Amino acid sequence: MWGAIVVIAGLAVVVSVFFGALAHYADSKDVVAVVGAVTGVVGTIVTAFFGIHATARAASDATQKVAAAGENATKTVKDANDKALAAAAYIPASQAAEFVDKLGIRPH
């Protein structure tokens, strides 16, 4: 919504300056100079607005992806530990403790 407001406001400024310049200056070179200067400034402001919003959206998406990757990694490690502990159940008791110690995991 804000993007549309910024674009409409920018167009309103440029159109207002154009008609104001037409009323004030008789020479077309003067009108073009004034409108060109204002168009450059308005264009820069509108472009900066959209650039900032695009950057903020990209940062938000990246943060969400990093969080999801961290959760997935934690789940993967937990699953691997659970499988190792399950495998230890099939090893003779005298060797199971050593097996679990070598893996560096603790039953939960």
Whole-model pTM above 0.75?
no
| 35 within a domain of the structure (yes/no) | yes
Domain that holds residue 51: 2-103
Q: What share of the chain has pLDDT > 90, as a percent? A: 12
In a domain, 108, yes or no: no
What proportion of the chain, given as a percentage, has pLDDT over 70?
Answer: 96
Give per-residue pLDDT as tens, 8-55: 888 898 889 999 998 988 888 989 999 899 998 888 888 888 888 889
Provide the 10 A C-beta neighbour count for residue 31. Answer: 19
Phi/psi zone of residue 104: left (φ > 0), alpha (ψ -120 to 50 degrees), beta?
left
The predicted pLDDT at position 2 comes to: 76
Report the number of distinct structural domains present in the chain.
Answer: 1
